[in-house]
Each structure stands twice: as C-alpha cells, then as structure tokens.
A = this chain, B = another copy of it.
Amino acid sequence: MSASTAVQSRPGGRSARVRAAVHRAVGELLAEDTSEALTIPIVAARAGVHATTVYRRWGSIGDLLAAVASSRFSGDIVVPDTGSLRGDLEQWAGDVATDLQDPDVLALIRASIGAGGAEGACACSTDRRNQLAAMIEREQARGGTPPDVERATDLLLGPLYYRAIFTSAPGEPAWARGLVADLLP
C-alpha cells in the first residue's frame, strides 16, 4: 500500500525501475484484452522482470492491482480552485468524468474490485473522496455552508462511478458538471 512515493528501506534506482516497469506492464495488459487472465508470470514477463521478484514484492495479483490503482489514482487530478464551491465541483466532476472515460482506467478499476475485494475498491476511490472533502472544507473555511461530504459523495461520485462501471457508456464531462446542480440548487 502507498507504493507511490513512500519512503521505503531502499528507494534507490533499481527498485524504482522495477516498480515502474511492473506498474506499466499492469496498465498495458489491462488495456489490451480483458479476457487475459492477468497473472503474475504474465505481468513479470511483460515488465522484463522475473516472476519471483513480483511474487516477493507484491505477493498476490490482488495486492499488486491495489498498489497500481493506489498509485494511479492519487495525485492524477489536482483539486481545482476557482473561487467558488460550485466552480470547483463542476470542474472537478468534469475531470473525473474525463478520467473515467479512459478504457484503461475502467479496466484497472474493475480488476481492482474483483481481485482486491473491498480493499481494492477503496484504493480507487479514497483519493477522490478526500479531494471532495478538501473542497468542501475549504468552502467551510471560506464561511459558506456547503453540503455534507456524504451527500456530495452520493450525488457526484455515485453517479460517476456507477455509470463508468455498470453501463457501457461512461458519462460525458458535460453531464458530470450537470450533477453539481442537484447538489447545489
């Protein structure tokens, strides 16, 4: 967990290279064919790394996927600062929708949910939820009366992720921006 830039006992050159190669291999394989089993030997072969290394560092394919997802979905979207909560949320929702339109991203989320269970699913959404909380807290510090984080999650993250995962047509950014209207009337 927190495999992005966490301080490890040995963050030096080779370990970082191997990790980058493995992460990239997972992304590439997920982007190609869904029916491929995505096993550790396959990932290792694609990454040009020995399977033993992957087994030892990540253990199972579930943990590896969770690590990749956690790394991929943290810091990929910057929290906007337009001055108003509505503007922030609209831009942010549009950015998230754009991200969820990427088939690779969808494949990563689906695989994380399937292999990592609740833990894998959380790795895909905790950062988004934190971003939402940050925008709402900022509005609160600004003196406004923003909605609850729970409510914002239900009305924004809910539709966004539902459409992405359960339907074949992920939401357009314009549609995502429209979701804010339900939250802030």
Contacts and interface: CB of A to CB of B under 8 A. Distances in A.
A157 to B, nearest CB: 6
B162 A157 contact: yes
A159 B166 contact: no
Given A106-B118, A118-B168, A158-B161, 10 more contacts: A107-B117, A111-B114, A153-B159, A154-B163, A154-B179, A155-B155, A161-B161, A161-B162, A161-B166, A182-B182
A157 B163 CA distance: 10
Contacts of A106: 118
Interface stretch (A19-27, A81-89, A121-129): A121-129
A150 to B, nearest CB: 9
Interface residues of A, number: 33
A34 interface: yes
Interface string A153-180: 1110111111101111000000000010
Interface in A59-114: 60, 62, 106-107, 110-111, 113-114
Contacts of A160: 158
15 contacts: A35-B62, A106-B118, A111-B114, A113-B113, A113-B114, A114-B114, A118-B168, A121-B165, A124-B166, A154-B163, A154-B179, A155-B182, A158-B158, A161-B161, A161-B162
7 closest Cβ pairs, A-B complex:
A114-B114, A158-B158, A158-B159, A154-B159, A158-B162, A125-B166, A34-B117
